[in-house]
Structure formats: C-alpha cells, structure tokens
Amino acid sequence: MKQGKRFRVFGLNLIVAPNACHHARLGLAVSTKYGNAVQRGRLKRCLRSAFRQHHIRDKAIDILAIPTPQLQDEQVSEQGMKACFDSLIKRC
C-alpha cells in the first residue's frame, strides 16, 4: 500500500487508505523483528479483537498495522489497541 496516510501510534506504524468497500479492513504485517511467535500471535489477536469491537469498522478505510520493535509487551492488550484505534480516529 504505497498511497495512504502514515501514522505512528503507540509503537505501531499505521497506514490508512480509503477503499471501495463500505466497511473497514485490517491488514497485519508482523515481522520476526518484533519478537518470538508467541509475542507476534498475541499482538495479532489483540489487534483483531480490538478492531472487531471498535466503531472504526463503519468507515470505508483500509488499515495496515506494522508494529515496531520498540512496542513493549505491556502495551499489547485489547484496551491498548482500542486506544490506538481511538487515537487514529482523532487524527484522520
């Protein structure tokens, strides 16, 4: 996704672009630089769960989430990811 706006929120690089669908879509790109398989899986589960429960799904946007290695384990929680989406809504 070359086009779109880039945001850095809570150690996540988020790339947001409009889409032709009438709902939001979430893409995850978690490399091995982030951590071991358990940490990567936990992050993806938390992001998906927070995305499902957030009202950002009503927007017609694509979101690509790329975590940085600086994202701490204690920041990875469902509440933390909801706060991330709240911050993203305010910035868009």
Domains assigned to the chain = 5-91 (3.30.230.10)
pLDDT, one tens digit per residue, over 48-57 is: 998 998 888 8
Distance between alpha carbon 14 and the CA centroid of its chain, in Å?
Answer: 6
- Rounded-to-integer distance, Cα 47 and Cα 80, Å: 9
Predicted pLDDT of residue 90: 82
Identify the burial level of 86 via C-beta atoms within 10 angstroms of its C-beta, where 0-12 means exposed, 13-18 middle and 19 or more buried. middle
Predicted pLDDT of residue 92: 75
Categorize the per-residue pLDDT at 2 as very low, low, confident or very high, splitting at 50, 70 and 90.
Answer: low
pLDDT, one tens digit per residue, over 33-90 is: 888 899 889 989 989 998 998 888 888 999 999 998 887 666 677 888 888 888 888 8
Q: Which sign, positive or negative, has the C-alpha torsion 51, 30, 91, 11?
A: positive
Predicted pLDDT of residue 73: 67
pTM over 0.85: no
Categorize the per-residue pLDDT at 25 as very low, low, confident or very high, splitting at 50, 70 and 90.
Answer: very high
Residue 83 CB contacts under 8 Å (≥ 6 apart), including other chains: 10
pLDDT at 27 over 90: yes
Query: Looking at the DSSP assignment, which residues form a beta bridge with residue 28?
Result: 65
